[in-house]
Amino acid sequence: MSETKTAATSGLELRDPRTDRSYALTLLERGTEGDEAVRASDLRQVKVADDDFGLLSYDPAFMNTASCKSAITFIDGDKGILRYRGYPIEQLAEKSTFLEVAYLLRNGELPSQDEYVKWVHDITYHTYVHENIAKFLTGFRHDAHPMAMLTSALAALSSFYPQAKDIFDPEQRHISIIRLLAKTPTIAAMIFRHMKGLPVVYPDNSLPYGENYLSMVARMSEPRYEANPAFAKALDVLLILHADHEQNCSTSAVRAVGSSHVDPFSAVAAGVAALYGPLHGGANEAVLRMIEQIGHPKNVPAFIEEVKGGKGSRLMGFGHRVYKSYDPRAKIVKKLADEVFAQVGMDKDLEIALKLEEAALNDEYFVSRKLYPNVDFYTGLIYRSMAFPTSYFTVLFAMGRMAGWLAQWEEMLLDKEQKIARPRQIYVGPGERAYETKLTDFQPDMRKDSIRK
Ligand code: ACO
C-alpha cells in the first residue's frame, strides 16, 4: 500500500478523515476461485503521527482473515462444495481410498501405480510403535478420556524420534509423515484396548490400512481378523471425509504450533487437543450425548423448543462456521449410515436423529440462521453401531484428519511468506500505574517469608 494524493486507479482506496490522507490498498493476486484480499500489514502505513504503531485489523476468531495461501482444500460454504486438490469430495468418497487421498493431500497429485504401492508399503511397514508407548498408555486410568490419551501419546512419540526436529530436511519430513500416518491407528487401537481392559493387538501388516486398524481394535483369540465389509468401507469413507477441511480450528492449531519450528509430532498433538473440543471434532460425541438426553422421538419437539429458547443447549451436529448450506460431507455420511444400519438394524437413537433433522430443517429458527446438519450429525451414530464407545468417536476423526494436518503443516513450512504465528492484540487493560500492595500483613521480604512458612 502506498499513500496517494489522488484516488487509486487499481485496487482500493482508503481515506483517513483524521489526517485527510488517502492510501491505495493493493489487492493480492486472486485465488483460483476468485478470492480477493488486502494485506493486513499494509494497514500499518495508516498513521496519525509518525511514531504511531499504525492501523491494526481486528478479527476475533479470524472470521474474515486468511492466514495463508493454500493449494490443498477448497470449500464454498454457500454452495456446499468441498474439494481436495480440485477433486470433489463426492468422487473421492465414492472411488478413492483413504491412503490414496492422504497421498493426494500431501503431494498435490494422485499417485501413479508405483507411487501408490510404495506409499502404502512404507506406511504399512511403520505401523508398529515402540513398546514403551504401549507401557506409557497403561499409566492412564481406565476411564481416562481417549482424546487426552491420544494427545499425550502423540506428543510422547516426538521423544522417540529426536531427528524429526530437523524439519527442513525433506527426508526427515517424509519419514515423520509416514510414521504419523502409520502409527496413529496403532496408538488409537491401543487406547481402545486400554479402555476395555483388553491386551494390545499388534498390527497385522497383511491387512489393508482400515482393516488392520479394526483388527487391532476387535481381534480376540482368532488368528486372523476379518472385518465386516460394511464397517471397513464405512471407516475408509469416514477417514476420507475427515481428511482435511482447510483452516479449521485444529489445522490452524497445527500450523500455529508448527510455525515455531517444533517437530511434527508435537504440532499434531496440538491439533488433537484442538479437535477434542465439543465445538469442533468433539461434536460427534456431543451429538450422541444429546440424543441420549432426548431419550425418545416424542421428546424431539420439546428439545427443539429448548434450543430455540437459548437455554444453554445447542443442536449439536448442526451449524458450521463455513457451510451455510448442507455440509456436502453430511450428505455422504447419511447415505453411509443407511448402508451400515441395513447391516445392524435401525434403533431408537437413529429415529431420534432423523426426527431432529426433519424438525430443524423445517423450522424457521434453523432455516433463517442457515443451520444444516454438519458431518458430525451422523458419524457418531455410525461409530456407535460399529460398537465404538461414545467418548472414542473423536479419535476416529483424528485418524482421518492426520492426513490433512500433515499436508498443511508441510505446506506452511515450505511457504516463504510464513513466519512464527504471532497475532497482535488491542490492549484494553489499565494504563500504567504504580505498585502499591493491598496486603495488610505486609512483610518487606515476602518471598523469603512464604518459603519459611
Ligand atoms: N444450535 C442452535 N443454534 C445455533 C447452532 C446450533 N447448533 N449453531 C449456531 N446457532 C445459532 C447461534 O445461537 C446464533 O444465533 P443468534 O444469531 O440468534 O445469536 C447463530 O446461530 C450464529 O451462531 P454462531 O455461534 O455465531 O455461529 P459460528 O459460525 O460461530 O458457530 C459452530 C459455528 C460453532 C459450528 C456452531 O454452529 C455450533 O456450535 N454448532 C454445534 C456444534 C457442532 O456441531 N460443531 C461441529 C462443527 S463441524 C466440525 O468441527 C467438524
CA distance 204 to 38: 52
Any ligand 1 atom below 6 A from CB of 315: yes
288: alpha, beta or left? (left if phi > 0; alpha if psi -120 to 50):
alpha
CA of residue 91 to ligand 1 center, whole Å: 28
CA of residue 432 to ligand 1 center, whole Å: 39
Among candidate residues 280, 296, 441, 449, the one labeled active-site is: 280
Identity (one letter) of the amino acid at 266? S
Give the pLDDT confidence score for residue 409 in this predicted structure: 98
CA of residue 313 to ligand 1 center, whole Å: 11
CA of residue 72 to ligand 1 center, whole Å: 25
| Beta bridge partner(s), residue 74 | 83
Which residue has the CA at smallest separation from atom 41 of ligand 1? 316
CB of 98 closer than 8 Å to CB of 399: no
Give the pLDDT confidence score for residue 75 in this predicted structure: 95
Any ligand 1 atom below 6 A from CB of 241: no
Any ligand 1 atom below 6 A from CB of 369: yes
Pocket test of ligand 1: the residue of 288, 320, 357, 393 to mutate, having most ligand atoms within 8 Å of its CB, is 320
> What is the b/e burial string over 73-92, where b = at least 16 CB atoms within 10 angstroms of the residue's CB?
bbbeeeebbbbbbebebeeb
CA distance 453 to 451: 6
In the residue annotation, 50 being an active-site residue is answered as no
DSSP SS3 for 2? strand
Among candidate residues 376, 415, 441, 449, the one labeled active-site is: 376
Any ligand 1 atom below 6 A from CB of 281: yes
Q: Which residues contact 184 (CB under 8 A, 6 or more apart)?
A: 154, 398, 399, 402
Any ligand 1 atom below 6 A from CB of 376: yes
The torsion of the CA quartet 106, 276, 383, 372, rounded to 10 degrees, works out to -90
Pocket test of ligand 1: the residue of 275, 322, 369, 378 to mutate, having most ligand atoms within 8 Å of its CB, is 369
Among candidate residues 263, 320, 327, 349, the one labeled active-site is: 320
In the residue annotation, 261 being an active-site residue is answered as no
CB of 151 closer than 8 Å to CB of 276: yes
Give the pLDDT confidence score for residue 8 in this predicted structure: 41
Pocket test of ligand 1: the residue of 62, 238, 314, 405 to mutate, having most ligand atoms within 8 Å of its CB, is 314
> What is the b/e burial string over 208-237, where b = at least 16 CB atoms within 10 angstroms of the residue's CB?
bbbbbbbbbbbbeeeeebebeebbbebbbb
The C-alpha cell at 91 is 468422487
> What's the predicted TM-score (pTM) here?
0.90
Give the pLDDT confidence score for residue 446 in this predicted structure: 67
| Beta bridge partner(s), residue 318 | 373
Any ligand 1 atom below 6 A from CB of 308: no
DSSP SS3 for 124? helix
In the residue annotation, 51 being an active-site residue is answered as no
Look at the block and give the residue holding cell 487401537: 189
Inter-residue long-range contacts of 291-297, CB under 8 Å, 24+ positions, other chains counted? 291/349, 291/352, 291/353, 291/356, 291/381, 292/349, 294/352, 294/356, 295/352, 296/348, 296/352, 297/348, 297/351, 297/352, 297/355
CA distance 395 to 148: 10
pLDDT digit string (tens) for the chain, length 453 residues: 555 544 444 679 999 999 999 998 889 888 998 888 999 999 999 999 999 999 999 999 999 999 999 999 999 988 999 999 999 999 999 999 999 999 999 999 999 999 999 999 999 999 999 999 999 999 999 899 999 999 999 999 999 999 999 999 999 999 999 999 999 999 999 999 999 999 999 999 999 999 999 999 999 999 999 999 999 999 999 999 999 999 999 999 999 999 999 999 999 999 999 999 988 888 888 899 899 999 999 999 999 999 999 877 899 999 998 888 888 998 899 889 888 888 888 778 888 998 999 999 999 999 999 999 888 888 888 998 898 999 999 999 999 999 999 999 999 999 999 999 999 999 999 999 999 989 888 776 666 655 555
The gap between the terminal CA atoms of the chain, to the nearest Å, is 60
Residue pLDDT, tens place only, 190-201 = 999 999 999 999
CA of residue 319 to ligand 1 center, whole Å: 5
Give the pLDDT confidence score for residue 215 in this predicted structure: 98
Give the pLDDT confidence score for residue 447 in this predicted structure: 67
